[in-house]
Homo-oligomer: A and B are copies of this chain.
Amino acid sequence: MANSRSGDSMTERIVRVLDTFTSERTMQTASEIARRTGLPSSTAHRIVGELIEQGLLERDEENRVRLGLRLWELALRGSSALRLRQAALPHMEHVQTLVREHTQLAVLEHDEALFLERLSHPDAGANITRVAGRLPVHASSSGLVLLAFADPALRERVLAGPLRAVSRETVTDAVALRALLITIRRRGFVVAPGSIEQVSTGVAVPVRDRGEVVAALSAVLPREAPTEPVIAALLDAAAAIEEDLRTSR
């Protein structure tokens, strides 16, 4: 009943509809959505109609469709991402008062770094990351920390490549990357100058819950900024987050 003749589930088709929305594309007509999903037009229109009926999508006065607050509520209310992010936020704010650039929290999701939170100073420098945005694990400082402490199977899969160059300084050589990950595990932090954008340096540390690395806490700085005080602030904040996660169980 829930499966079409082509074998994809109704859930999969709903995901395809929701997946057409991005941070750059928050409003679409039902026809644009239909085209972008690649689903038969009648199927896509019917799913959009059902999603609007349930409040997961909303229609505005000009008949354009956007993601609904009900979807936001359902996704967040019981989310472990929210628990982690709520534990981290006060300590991220403290880092941010010291660093006054960008402070971020990321988790591993499908071999990429998914950013749960980002605090930015109005005068801060360049930074490509967005809340609910992703970056490759081998390029971003957060991703490198998550990869260094990830399940060995995942690490080998990523090392087997391809390792795409995000900037000229992204480490794309598997041997060099393997050595870097060993260093990160030993030191407990990474400084990654220019690996995403040439003008910036990423600094990241792991955050643990029940002994496992569950997130990376990072800062993005202008390339020439001193990194030592930032490393110290991030390590202190990670310890404080871990303590809050322990007591909030």
- Which residues of A are in contact with B by a Cβ distance under 8 Å? 1-2, 4, 9-12, 14-15, 18-19, 21-23, 25-26, 46-47, 50-51, 53-56, 66-67, 69-83, 86, 89-90, 93, 107, 109-110, 114, 116, 119-120, 122, 131-134
Give 20 A-B contacts (CB < 8 Å), ordered by A residue.
Answer: A2-B2, A2-B46, A10-B11, A11-B54, A11-B56, A19-B74, A21-B79, A26-B79, A66-B78, A69-B81, A69-B109, A69-B114, A71-B75, A72-B79, A73-B109, A75-B76, A77-B132, A79-B132, A86-B131, A89-B119
Check B9 against A131 for contact (C-beta < 8 Å). Answer: no
Check A67 against B75 for contact (C-beta < 8 Å). Answer: yes
Check A47 against B11 for contact (C-beta < 8 Å). Answer: yes
Known contacts A2-B46, A14-B11: A80-B109 contact under CB 8 Å: no
Copies assembled: 2
Check B72 against A9 for contact (C-beta < 8 Å). Answer: no
- A71 — which chain B residues lie within 8 A by C-beta? 74-75, 79
Distance between A153 CB and nearest chain B CB, rounded to angstroms: 16
| CB nearest neighbor in B for A93 | B93
